[in-house]
Amino acid sequence: MNTEAKVGAFVLVCAAILLATVYRVSNAQIRGARVPYRTYLQYAGGLEPGADVLFGGIKAGQVTAVRPDPKDPTRIEILLDVRLGTPLNAKSVAKLGSVTVITNPVISISMGANDAPRLPANSVIPSLETISLDDTERKVVALADSAQTLLEAVHTDVNVVTGDARQLMANLNEVTGKPNQQRLAEMLTNADATITKISPQIDRISDQIVTLADNANGVITKMGPAVDNVNATVSNANGTINAASDPLQTDLAEMRKTIEQARGLIANLQTAMRAKDQNIAETVENLRVATENLDELTESVKQRPWSLIRIRQPKDRKVPQ
Protein backbone atom coordinates (compact mmCIF):
# COMPACT_ATOMS: atom_id res chain seq x y z
CA MET A 1 0.00 0.00 0.00
CA ASN A 2 1.41 3.37 -0.99
CA THR A 3 1.58 6.43 1.18
CA GLU A 4 -1.40 8.12 -0.39
CA ALA A 5 -3.66 5.16 0.37
CA LYS A 6 -2.50 5.12 3.98
CA VAL A 7 -3.13 8.83 4.34
CA GLY A 8 -6.61 8.45 2.82
CA ALA A 9 -7.48 5.58 5.18
CA PHE A 10 -6.25 7.58 8.15
CA VAL A 11 -8.33 10.56 7.10
CA LEU A 12 -11.45 8.37 6.74
CA VAL A 13 -10.91 6.82 10.18
CA CYS A 14 -10.46 10.23 11.76
CA ALA A 15 -13.57 11.51 10.02
CA ALA A 16 -15.58 8.53 11.30
CA ILE A 17 -14.33 9.06 14.84
CA LEU A 18 -15.17 12.74 14.58
CA LEU A 19 -18.69 12.06 13.29
CA ALA A 20 -19.32 9.50 16.06
CA THR A 21 -18.08 11.93 18.70
CA VAL A 22 -20.24 14.71 17.32
CA TYR A 23 -23.27 12.40 17.21
CA ARG A 24 -22.86 11.25 20.79
CA VAL A 25 -22.25 14.78 22.06
CA SER A 26 -25.23 16.17 20.18
CA ASN A 27 -27.44 13.27 21.31
CA ALA A 28 -26.37 13.80 24.94
CA GLN A 29 -27.10 17.50 24.65
CA ILE A 30 -30.51 16.81 23.12
CA ARG A 31 -31.46 14.12 25.62
CA GLY A 32 -29.83 15.77 28.59
CA ALA A 33 -27.97 14.13 31.46
CA ARG A 34 -29.59 11.01 32.95
CA VAL A 35 -29.59 9.59 36.49
CA PRO A 36 -29.89 5.80 36.95
CA TYR A 37 -32.47 4.26 39.30
CA ARG A 38 -34.02 0.85 39.83
CA THR A 39 -37.28 -0.62 41.02
CA TYR A 40 -38.76 -4.09 41.54
CA LEU A 41 -42.10 -5.59 40.50
CA GLN A 42 -43.60 -9.06 40.61
CA TYR A 43 -45.33 -8.60 37.25
CA ALA A 44 -43.71 -6.74 34.34
CA GLY A 45 -46.64 -7.09 31.91
CA GLY A 46 -44.63 -7.03 28.64
CA LEU A 47 -42.35 -4.16 29.67
CA GLU A 48 -39.24 -3.91 27.47
CA PRO A 49 -36.05 -1.81 27.45
CA GLY A 50 -36.68 1.53 25.82
CA ALA A 51 -40.13 1.94 27.39
CA ASP A 52 -40.96 5.39 28.63
CA VAL A 53 -40.69 6.45 32.27
CA LEU A 54 -43.38 8.93 33.32
CA PHE A 55 -43.12 11.19 36.34
CA GLY A 56 -46.52 12.61 37.23
CA GLY A 57 -47.65 11.78 33.67
CA ILE A 58 -44.69 13.61 32.06
CA LYS A 59 -42.01 11.70 30.13
CA ALA A 60 -38.89 11.83 32.28
CA GLY A 61 -36.73 8.93 31.10
CA GLN A 62 -36.51 5.43 29.66
CA VAL A 63 -36.24 1.84 30.85
CA THR A 64 -32.73 0.49 30.23
CA ALA A 65 -33.12 -3.13 31.36
CA VAL A 66 -35.85 -5.59 32.45
CA ARG A 67 -34.59 -8.84 34.00
CA PRO A 68 -35.26 -11.25 36.86
CA ASP A 69 -33.66 -10.21 40.11
CA PRO A 70 -30.53 -12.35 40.61
CA LYS A 71 -30.97 -12.18 44.39
CA ASP A 72 -34.74 -12.89 44.50
CA PRO A 73 -36.19 -14.85 41.54
CA THR A 74 -39.75 -14.02 42.63
CA ARG A 75 -39.49 -10.42 41.40
CA ILE A 76 -38.38 -8.49 38.31
CA GLU A 77 -35.58 -5.92 38.44
CA ILE A 78 -36.20 -2.87 36.28
CA LEU A 79 -33.34 -0.46 35.54
CA LEU A 80 -34.25 3.02 34.31
CA ASP A 81 -32.64 6.35 33.56
CA VAL A 82 -34.39 9.53 34.63
CA ARG A 83 -33.61 13.02 33.39
CA LEU A 84 -31.38 15.02 35.69
CA GLY A 85 -33.38 17.39 37.85
CA THR A 86 -36.45 15.14 38.12
CA PRO A 87 -37.55 15.50 41.80
CA LEU A 88 -37.80 11.84 42.75
CA ASN A 89 -38.26 11.56 46.51
CA ALA A 90 -38.64 8.88 49.18
CA LYS A 91 -42.45 8.92 48.87
CA SER A 92 -42.48 8.49 45.09
CA VAL A 93 -43.95 5.14 44.02
CA ALA A 94 -43.30 3.33 40.74
CA LYS A 95 -45.89 1.09 39.13
CA LEU A 96 -46.61 -0.53 35.78
CA GLY A 97 -49.03 1.50 33.68
CA SER A 98 -49.98 2.68 30.22
CA VAL A 99 -51.03 5.95 28.66
CA THR A 100 -53.85 4.37 26.64
CA VAL A 101 -55.25 0.89 26.24
CA ILE A 102 -53.47 0.18 22.94
CA THR A 103 -50.06 1.65 23.83
CA ASN A 104 -47.10 -0.27 25.20
CA PRO A 105 -46.66 -0.47 28.98
CA VAL A 106 -44.65 2.23 30.74
CA ILE A 107 -43.26 2.86 34.21
CA SER A 108 -45.33 5.52 35.96
CA ILE A 109 -43.81 7.24 39.02
CA SER A 110 -45.94 9.27 41.42
CA MET A 111 -44.82 12.73 42.51
CA GLY A 112 -44.58 11.82 46.22
CA ALA A 113 -44.36 14.67 48.72
CA ASN A 114 -42.53 18.00 48.65
CA ASP A 115 -41.10 17.59 52.16
CA ALA A 116 -39.76 14.07 51.50
CA PRO A 117 -35.98 13.70 50.95
CA ARG A 118 -34.77 13.40 47.35
CA LEU A 119 -33.55 10.01 46.11
CA PRO A 120 -29.86 9.85 45.16
CA ALA A 121 -28.62 8.08 42.04
CA ASN A 122 -28.86 4.26 41.89
CA SER A 123 -31.53 4.30 44.63
CA VAL A 124 -34.43 1.86 44.72
CA ILE A 125 -37.78 3.49 43.97
CA PRO A 126 -40.62 1.98 46.06
CA SER A 127 -43.07 0.09 43.87
CA LEU A 128 -46.75 -0.74 43.85
CA GLU A 129 -48.09 -3.85 42.18
CA THR A 130 -50.85 -3.46 39.60
CA ILE A 131 -53.58 -5.94 38.87
CA SER A 132 -52.64 -8.06 35.88
CA LEU A 133 -55.02 -9.19 33.16
CA ASP A 134 -54.89 -12.74 34.51
CA ASP A 135 -55.89 -11.56 37.98
CA THR A 136 -58.65 -9.46 36.45
CA GLU A 137 -59.90 -12.44 34.46
CA ARG A 138 -59.88 -14.65 37.56
CA LYS A 139 -61.82 -12.05 39.52
CA VAL A 140 -64.29 -11.66 36.66
CA VAL A 141 -64.77 -15.44 36.52
CA ALA A 142 -65.26 -15.59 40.31
CA LEU A 143 -67.73 -12.71 40.08
CA ALA A 144 -69.57 -14.49 37.27
CA ASP A 145 -69.79 -17.67 39.35
CA SER A 146 -71.10 -15.70 42.30
CA ALA A 147 -73.59 -13.95 40.03
CA GLN A 148 -74.72 -17.32 38.64
CA THR A 149 -75.24 -18.66 42.16
CA LEU A 150 -77.10 -15.50 43.11
CA LEU A 151 -79.29 -15.74 40.01
CA GLU A 152 -80.12 -19.35 40.83
CA ALA A 153 -81.02 -18.40 44.41
CA VAL A 154 -83.11 -15.48 43.17
CA HIS A 155 -84.81 -17.74 40.63
CA THR A 156 -85.64 -20.21 43.40
CA ASP A 157 -86.98 -17.43 45.61
CA VAL A 158 -89.00 -16.05 42.69
CA ASN A 159 -90.51 -19.48 42.11
CA VAL A 160 -91.45 -19.74 45.78
CA VAL A 161 -92.92 -16.23 45.77
CA THR A 162 -94.81 -17.02 42.57
CA GLY A 163 -96.24 -20.17 44.13
CA ASP A 164 -97.31 -18.24 47.23
CA ALA A 165 -98.87 -15.55 45.05
CA ARG A 166 -100.79 -18.14 43.10
CA GLN A 167 -102.03 -19.72 46.33
CA LEU A 168 -103.06 -16.28 47.58
CA MET A 169 -104.96 -15.57 44.36
CA ALA A 170 -106.68 -18.94 44.64
CA ASN A 171 -107.69 -18.14 48.22
CA LEU A 172 -108.95 -14.72 47.15
CA ASN A 173 -110.94 -16.27 44.31
CA GLU A 174 -112.42 -18.76 46.74
CA VAL A 175 -113.33 -16.02 49.22
CA THR A 176 -114.84 -13.80 46.56
CA GLY A 177 -116.68 -16.63 44.80
CA LYS A 178 -120.41 -16.71 44.15
CA PRO A 179 -121.32 -18.84 47.24
CA ASN A 180 -119.55 -16.41 49.55
CA GLN A 181 -121.07 -13.45 47.73
CA GLN A 182 -124.54 -14.93 48.25
CA ARG A 183 -123.80 -15.53 51.94
CA LEU A 184 -122.57 -11.97 52.33
CA ALA A 185 -125.72 -10.66 50.62
CA GLU A 186 -127.88 -12.76 52.98
CA MET A 187 -125.94 -11.46 56.01
CA LEU A 188 -126.43 -7.88 54.88
CA THR A 189 -130.15 -8.51 54.28
CA ASN A 190 -130.51 -10.01 57.77
CA ALA A 191 -128.61 -7.09 59.27
CA ASP A 192 -130.94 -4.59 57.54
CA ALA A 193 -134.00 -6.48 58.78
CA THR A 194 -132.62 -6.62 62.33
CA ILE A 195 -131.86 -2.88 62.32
CA THR A 196 -135.37 -2.19 61.00
CA LYS A 197 -136.90 -4.26 63.84
CA ILE A 198 -134.87 -2.79 66.70
CA SER A 199 -134.92 0.85 65.53
CA PRO A 200 -138.27 1.61 67.34
CA GLN A 201 -136.86 0.05 70.54
CA ILE A 202 -133.73 2.15 70.19
CA ASP A 203 -135.89 5.25 69.86
CA ARG A 204 -137.84 4.35 73.01
CA ILE A 205 -134.62 3.70 74.91
CA SER A 206 -133.30 7.07 73.78
CA ASP A 207 -136.48 8.79 75.03
CA GLN A 208 -136.20 6.99 78.38
CA ILE A 209 -132.55 8.04 78.69
CA VAL A 210 -133.51 11.68 78.04
CA THR A 211 -136.30 11.48 80.67
CA LEU A 212 -133.91 9.87 83.15
CA ALA A 213 -131.40 12.62 82.55
CA ASP A 214 -134.06 15.28 83.20
CA ASN A 215 -135.08 13.55 86.45
CA ALA A 216 -131.46 13.31 87.51
CA ASN A 217 -131.02 17.03 86.92
CA GLY A 218 -134.06 17.71 89.12
CA VAL A 219 -132.75 15.45 91.87
CA ILE A 220 -129.35 17.15 91.74
CA THR A 221 -131.07 20.53 92.00
CA LYS A 222 -133.02 19.39 95.06
CA MET A 223 -129.93 17.88 96.68
CA GLY A 224 -128.02 21.16 96.49
CA PRO A 225 -129.29 22.54 99.89
CA ALA A 226 -128.78 19.14 101.52
CA VAL A 227 -125.20 19.11 100.31
CA ASP A 228 -124.72 22.58 101.74
CA ASN A 229 -126.11 21.40 105.11
CA VAL A 230 -123.77 18.42 105.04
CA ASN A 231 -120.83 20.72 104.35
CA ALA A 232 -121.82 22.92 107.30
CA THR A 233 -122.17 19.84 109.54
CA VAL A 234 -118.74 18.60 108.50
CA SER A 235 -117.26 22.02 109.22
CA ASN A 236 -118.84 22.03 112.70
CA ALA A 237 -117.58 18.53 113.35
CA ASN A 238 -114.08 19.57 112.32
CA GLY A 239 -114.25 22.49 114.78
CA THR A 240 -115.45 20.19 117.57
CA ILE A 241 -112.68 17.69 116.85
CA ASN A 242 -110.07 20.45 116.81
CA ALA A 243 -111.39 21.79 120.15
CA ALA A 244 -111.29 18.34 121.74
CA SER A 245 -107.92 17.38 120.30
CA ASP A 246 -105.83 19.28 122.93
CA PRO A 247 -107.36 17.55 126.02
CA LEU A 248 -107.19 14.22 124.22
CA GLN A 249 -103.51 14.73 123.48
CA THR A 250 -102.87 15.57 127.17
CA ASP A 251 -104.76 12.43 128.29
CA LEU A 252 -102.85 10.35 125.77
CA ALA A 253 -99.53 11.68 127.10
CA GLU A 254 -100.51 10.79 130.69
CA MET A 255 -101.72 7.38 129.53
CA ARG A 256 -98.37 6.81 127.79
CA LYS A 257 -96.53 7.63 131.04
CA THR A 258 -98.80 5.24 133.00
CA ILE A 259 -98.15 2.48 130.43
CA GLU A 260 -94.38 3.01 130.75
CA GLN A 261 -94.62 2.76 134.54
CA ALA A 262 -96.75 -0.40 134.23
CA ARG A 263 -94.14 -1.91 131.91
CA GLY A 264 -91.40 -1.19 134.49
CA LEU A 265 -93.50 -2.76 137.27
CA ILE A 266 -94.16 -5.85 135.14
CA ALA A 267 -90.44 -6.18 134.43
CA ASN A 268 -89.68 -6.04 138.18
CA LEU A 269 -92.36 -8.66 138.89
CA GLN A 270 -90.92 -10.91 136.19
CA THR A 271 -87.45 -10.63 137.77
CA ALA A 272 -88.84 -11.49 141.22
CA MET A 273 -90.82 -14.40 139.80
CA ARG A 274 -87.71 -15.78 138.14
CA ALA A 275 -85.84 -15.69 141.49
CA LYS A 276 -88.80 -17.38 143.29
CA ASP A 277 -89.02 -19.96 140.54
CA GLN A 278 -85.40 -20.92 141.18
CA ASN A 279 -86.06 -21.25 144.97
CA ILE A 280 -89.19 -23.30 144.37
CA ALA A 281 -87.27 -25.55 141.98
CA GLU A 282 -84.60 -26.17 144.64
CA THR A 283 -87.29 -26.93 147.31
CA VAL A 284 -89.05 -29.35 144.97
CA GLU A 285 -85.75 -31.09 144.26
CA ASN A 286 -85.07 -31.45 148.02
CA LEU A 287 -88.58 -32.88 148.57
CA ARG A 288 -88.01 -35.35 145.72
CA VAL A 289 -84.73 -36.55 147.30
CA ALA A 290 -86.39 -36.88 150.73
CA THR A 291 -89.25 -38.85 149.21
CA GLU A 292 -86.83 -41.21 147.50
CA ASN A 293 -85.01 -41.73 150.83
CA LEU A 294 -88.34 -42.52 152.60
CA ASP A 295 -89.22 -44.96 149.83
CA GLU A 296 -85.90 -46.74 150.21
CA LEU A 297 -86.34 -46.86 154.04
CA THR A 298 -89.86 -48.25 153.72
CA GLU A 299 -88.69 -50.91 151.28
CA SER A 300 -85.83 -51.87 153.60
CA VAL A 301 -88.20 -52.21 156.60
CA LYS A 302 -90.53 -54.40 154.57
CA GLN A 303 -87.71 -56.75 153.60
CA ARG A 304 -85.85 -56.72 156.93
CA PRO A 305 -88.22 -55.73 159.75
CA TRP A 306 -85.76 -56.98 162.40
CA SER A 307 -83.44 -54.22 161.39
CA LEU A 308 -85.54 -51.91 163.55
CA ILE A 309 -84.58 -54.03 166.65
CA ARG A 310 -81.30 -55.73 165.76
CA ILE A 311 -78.41 -53.94 164.46
CA ARG A 312 -76.78 -57.01 162.92
CA GLN A 313 -78.56 -59.36 160.60
CA PRO A 314 -78.75 -62.97 161.84
CA LYS A 315 -76.94 -65.65 159.94
CA ASP A 316 -78.85 -67.70 157.44
CA ARG A 317 -79.99 -71.10 158.66
CA LYS A 318 -78.42 -74.19 157.22
CA VAL A 319 -80.61 -76.60 155.39
CA PRO A 320 -80.86 -79.89 157.33
CA GLN A 321 -79.35 -82.90 155.60
Beta bridge partner(s), residue 36: 81
pLDDT at 315 exceeding the cut of 70: no
Buried b (16+ CB within 10 A) or exposed e, 2-22: eeeeeeeeeeeeeeeeeeeee
More confident call, 311 vs 48: 48
Q: 108 pLDDT band (50/70/90 cuts)?
A: very high
Buried b (16+ CB within 10 A) or exposed e, 78-91: bebbbbeebebbee
User: The domain 32-130 is classified under which CATH number: 3.30.70, 3.40.50, 1.10.287, 2.40.30?
Assistant: 2.40.30
Give the mean model confidence (pLDDT) for residues 69-87: 91
Count CB atoms within 10 A of the CB of residue 75: 17
Beta bridge partner(s), residue 68: 76
Domain segments of the chain as ranges: 1-27, 32-130, 131-176
Q: 30 pLDDT band (50/70/90 cuts)?
A: very low
pLDDT at 102 exceeding the cut of 70: yes
pTM attached to this predicted model = 0.38
Strand order in the sheet with 58-68: 34-41, 76-83, 58-68, 52-55, 106-109, 94-97
pLDDT digits (tens, 9 = 90+) for 220-242: 777 666 656 756 776 776 666 66
